[in-house]
Each structure stands twice: as structure tokens, then as C-alpha cells.
A and B are shown apart, each in its own frame.
Chain A
Amino acid sequence: MKRIEKKLKELSQDNQKAFVGYIVAGDPDLETSLELMHLSVDSGVDILEIGVPFTDPIAEGPTIQQAHDRSLENQTNLQKIVDLVGKFREKDSNTPIILMGYINNFLMYKDLINRSHDLGVDGVLVVDIPGELSLEDYGIDNQDLDVISLVSPTTSKDRVKEIVKNSTGFIYYVTLRGVTGSSNLDGNEIEKNIKHIKSISSIPVMAGFGIKNSDDAKLLSSFSDGIVIGSSIVELIYKNSENKDFHEVSDYISNMKDAIR
């Protein structure tokens, strides 16, 4: 069984919701990213989403954009990120890892991405490729890799059907109109749309974008299979990058995990 499926199955058997945590690889540096990956898992993250930095990340708000810029100053690229995953796997062979980024970087490393499953990567989430298109058409065709797709409040019902068909692992439901780190969650709309996805497919649905505090986390986890948190974690990492004391990150993750229990 694939690692993402296995992890989600275990959680659901325990009546638990999944916590997907996002960090940008190479922010503040790759060595610290490795430390932060382990720290996140120890504090309660179930699935790691590793951001691949891009010069022009159009779906990101300022917090994650700036993290991408900081990482790019360290010359982070996909080769180094896959190496990072390999190092993580030396100590942790259970936690699923998804690479999240933009198509232009993935196209440059097609062969590496196709081999990356053997190196410890479980899935890819390409932000700027519409979900009804298949990554296979662009040369990323390793069937062992899960392909996570986004569904948003503006996705039409017809398209939801197509997207769900082409997705494995889980569906990432974008909870708001906006970039990462925005606010204004509309609970009723989110609940309705996630119910719709669940009515046509058995694929798990994670809710993300705009989750800031434990109330948001609690609300969204009540009608999804789990939540995704990015900007808040990235912000806390940045705040503590100078002295590299990340207990605030760890505390934040534990609180969020408690909120969705």
C-alpha cells in the first residue's frame, strides 16, 4: 500500500484527522529544513508537504513568496530537495512526503521526479496545472507517485468530476478565493463543497489555505479528512531562523494537532 493511503487509513481507523504541514525546502537552509521536517513530525504533523521554491509563485501570499525568495538565495533546486528527502528517510520511513511547486521546475527535472519515488517521495502537487490535465502528458508518469490536485470554491461540478478521476492520494480543497495565507473562511460554503466531492468519490479530502488558529483548524477538520497548514508555520520558522530555536513551531503544531483531535 502507498504511504499516503496507509497513513490516512491508519488515522481514520483511530478516528483521527490528518495534519498536513507545509514548509519551504531551503528556508532558512537545507540542513535546518531536515531538522524542521523531523521536528514537525515529532510535534504532530502526519504528512509533510515540501515547498519547491520558484521565482514566480503566483498562488502564494507574501509569507510563502518571501520564503521562496530566501530559499532561492541558497540556490535550492529540485535535485537538492530530493536529496533532502533521502536524508529524511534515513530516520523516518513512515511519514508521507509530497513535493508542492510549480510546473516549470518539475518539467526541468522530469527524470528525477519519475525516479523520486524510489528515493522516498510519495506524491507531487503541481499548483499551476489544472487538475483535469494529466501530468503524464508532460512526462511525469511514474504510477507509484500520487498526484494531488486542487479543487477550489470556484471549480464547477463538471470539473470536480474530472479532477477527482485524475487524482490519487487525496484532494486538496482550497478553502478560499485568494492566495496562501489569506483570511475570510466561509465554513458553510466549504462544508457544502467538500460534501459534494465526497458524494462522488471515496478519495480523502484535505482542507487548506487560510487556516490560522485552532478554531479554524477545528471547524475545517469537522467536515474534512484533515487540514493543511502552510503560511503560519513558514512565518514561525522565519521568525526564529536567526537563533534556530524552533520550540514555537513545535508548540504551534502540537496545538493545531490537539484542535483537530
Chain B
Amino acid sequence: MKDNLPDKDGFFGEYGGKFVPETLMYALNELEQTYKTLKDNNDFNAEFHKDLAEFVGRPSPLYFAKRLTEHYRTASIWLKREDLNHTGAHKINNTVGQILLAKYMGKKRIIAETGAGQHGVATATVAARLGLDCHIYMGSEDVRRQSLNVYRMKLLGAEVHEVNSGSATLKDALNEALRDWVTNIEDTYYIIGSVTGPHPYPMIVRDFNAVVGYELIEQSQESFGRMPDSIIACVGGGSNAMGIFYPFIKMDNVELIGVEAAGKGIETGEHAAPLNDGTPGVLHGAKSYLMQDESGQVKGTASISAGLDYPGVGPEHSWLKDIKRAKYVAVSDDEVMKAFHMVNKMEGILPALETAHAFAYLDELMPKMNEDQHIVINVSGRGDKDLNSVVEIEGIKL
């Protein structure tokens, strides 16, 4: 199994590439060159891993979910605790890495898009640490449902730009960040928050998040003496999934399962599951599965979770789907809420609504497993940020 992709033009099979306006080509090529040079540079890697250890708090534990395991009575369920990272999600791994690239490139201004706000917070955090000017683009619909994270970004000194164009969610925030970058190309570093966007971003974001997968190899060996049978992760753009999947792509006996947001149900068309119900297309600089109509217009999405509310997906996932190396399923908002409560009550863990999608697949998966098997769920983030949404959805008065 090939794990040396993308190719030199940034493609994973037919997916990926650099479909961008001409002005951006210079910056993408500059970034690609810099990354190529630094990737194997000892000083750069030492600095990255020192930050991961001392600032992020890595490695994140691999935790045995005893009560969940007893509940399903088949395979052992293990949790990779990315929710325990500084700032509360896997997103910080990538921003710690990319801010170092920005530093080595001498960029003074940082921009980023955010959906749930986790990437915005993670970006504002690393920018604050280096004293860099930071601008976050966020759809106005997401600003509303993730107001706590908006305030956190402001506390960290970032300027939050509310985006009202289009559907006013993550995809529009990405459009606006790209427009900012086109305008301020020379002094600005764009920290993309997922394995999406033009090459080299899907590769860079994957590589910085792959620390999760590499840790899991060691921890699996220590905890149960072999590699897991299945790894489950939620997929929006797909960065937490790509990070934990990547080191396992070449291990054919490890099943990789990505869980997309079925929203109100795949059959209703109101969802955010391009790998389950999309077709190949080009959005935000890359070819990948996409929710679009027959004219090539990008469709609106629906998901309970702002972080998964995106019509596209990282190109490497599209490739893994087509070559059948990973399996992509989808769970509905209702199933997610049920899982959200279950994980709180049984494990004392408050998962992000994004992460709850991965847990929601257990009902379907676990009856097919047996007691000798081990599955790992990537607990991509914690759910404090979602409490406002949950209260609103369930009509609770506080």
C-alpha cells in the first residue's frame, strides 16, 4: 500500500492538486519549498516535538473505556485522548507545526478560517505565543453557535472577522481567508486547519497530525501487545482522521473507519457527508468528493456540529475511499446526541459533537466484533464549546 503520496504535483491518485488563482501559486510554491527543506531538518523537528511535549502536553493517553466495553460486550474499546491536549482538540498539533513554518519563513501576519472555532482558538494560541498579528475568519452562523470560542480567540489577541457571504459557515470562511491571502500574499501565512485546500496543505496538515497515529502504534503495543483491529474517527475536512490513519495505511489488517455527518439523514439531502453522497469536484483548491448539484454549484450542508459542516473533504480521504483502504460511514444528528450522552454518563468524558459522531458508529460496529479484538476511537476534541448548542437543541433552561 502506498503511503508516499501526494505525488510531486500534489495528487493522491486523481484527487488533490493546486486549483487556485494565479496570485496564490507563488505562496504555495514557496511553502512547498520551505516544508521540503525543513521536514527532515533536525532543529526544526526538535523544536516541533519540544512544543508538542511541553506546550501541548503530548503524548495524549490511550485510555481503556471500561464501561463502554462492558456495555457492548465485544471488542475492547480504547480512546486516544486528543481532547486532553492544550486548547482541547487535535487542532493544536497542526497549528504548532505551521506556526513554526511561518516563523522560519519570516511571516509576520497569520490568518486562518474556523468552523467550530477549535482551529481558530488553536491558531490564535500559537500566534499569541510568538506575538504575531492574527486574523480569524468565521461564518456568522458559526460565530453565533460557538460564541465561547469567539471570545477565547479575542482573549488571545486575535481579530475575528465575521463572514456573511454564502451560507455563512466554514466553506465561506475559507473563501474569505483565501481572498485575504491573495491580497496580503507577501507578509501573510495562511494556517489551513484541515487536510483540505491546495497542495501542499493536505500533506502538511496530515504530517503534523500524524503524531497521533505514531503515538498510537507504540501505545497499542504497550497496552494490548499488537496493532488495533479498527480505528474510528469523525471526518469533516478530515484532519483528525488523517492524522490517526496515516501511519496505519500500509498495515492492511488495520481497518480504518471515517464517520461523516449524516445530519438529518443521508436520504433527506440535508447532511455534510460528501464521501457517502457526493461526487468528485473542485473546491478550495483541491479535487475531492464534494456535495454539489448537476451544474457544479456547491450545495449547502447541514450538521449539528459546526466542525463537520463542510461540503468537501480532504483529497487523501477521497483516494482512500476509491482504493477501498478506508471505509466511510455516516451517522445522523439524533444518533450523535444519543452517543454524546452515553459517553458522558459511562466514561465521564464530555466529547465534542464532532467527536460524538465517531462514538455514534459503535452501535453498528460493535455487534460485528468479537471479544479478542481491540478498537480505537480518536477522541478528537472535548465538548465544552458545544454546551450552548446542546442546551439549545434539547430546549433546556439553565
Contacts and interface: CB of A to CB of B under 8 A. Distances in A.
Interface residues of A, number: 42
Interface in B1-56: 18-23, 25-27, 29
Given A154-B23, A154-B27, A59 B182 contact: yes
Contacts of B298: 55-56, 104
Interface string B281-322: 111110000101011111000000000000000000000000
Interface stretch (B61-69, B118-126, B133-141, B183-191): B183-191
Contact of A155 (B20, B25, B165, B285): B25
Interface in A173-201: 174, 177-179, 182
Contacts of B285: 128
A150 B296 contact: no
A77 B297 CA distance: 9
A131 interface: yes
Contacts of A109: 295-296
Nearest to B183: A178
Nearest to A128: B19
A55 to B, nearest CB: 4
Contact of A107 (B29, B166, B172, B296): B296
Contacts of A104: 281-283, 290, 292, 296, 298
Given A56-B166, A56-B175, A128-B282, A155 B22 contact: yes
B18 A108 contact: no
A219 interface: no
B178 interface: yes
Contact of A55 (B178, B179, B297): B297
Interface of B: 18-23, 25-27, 29, 165-166, 171-172, 175, 178-179, 182-186, 281-285, 290, 292, 294-298
Interface of A: 54-62, 65, 69, 72, 77-78, 102-109, 127-131, 149-156, 159, 163, 174, 177-179, 182
17 contacts: A56-B171, A56-B284, A58-B179, A59-B179, A104-B281, A104-B290, A104-B292, A105-B297, A108-B292, A128-B285, A130-B18, A130-B22, A152-B22, A154-B25, A154-B27, A174-B23, A177-B184
